[in-house]
Amino acid sequence: MSAVVTVFASTLGQIFQPLFQAMAWLIAFFYALVPNFAIAIALLTVVVMIVTAPLTIKSTRSMVAMQRLSPELKKLQQKYKGDRQKLNEEMM
């Protein structure tokens, strides 16, 4: 079991290594601008939020759209309760 965990951790480390290096570089860069680690971490947080903002916006829009469709989907589920194939056809 230990060998499996070691291989998994090693592989996972290799996958995320570029991300870790980029974040370390950004913290070092921000620390060079403002020699305060708290501010450097706060600036890194802002950068991460800006980078992930498009994904967050897309996810939120998708969630709102699903909430709008939810009543119609529930009606279809009641109508085609026993027929999964017909339900899937109607939902598409």
pLDDT on residue 43: 97
Q: Give the tens place of pLDDT for each residue, 8-26.
A: 778 888 888 999 999 999 9
For residue 3, name the pLDDT band (cuts at 50, 70, 90).
Answer: confident
Map 29-65 to HEC letters: HHHHHCCCHHHHHHHHHHHHHHHHHHHHHHHHHHHHH
pLDDT on residue 77: 81
Q: Give the tens place of pLDDT for each residue, 32-83.
A: 999 999 999 999 999 999 999 999 999 999 999 999 988 988 888 888 787 7
**Domain range spanning residue 10?**
2-91
pLDDT on residue 9: 74
How many structural domains are present in the chain?
A: 1
Cβ neighbours for 33, distance < 8 A, ≥ 6 positions apart: 40
Residue 3's H or E segment, with its range, is helix 2-33
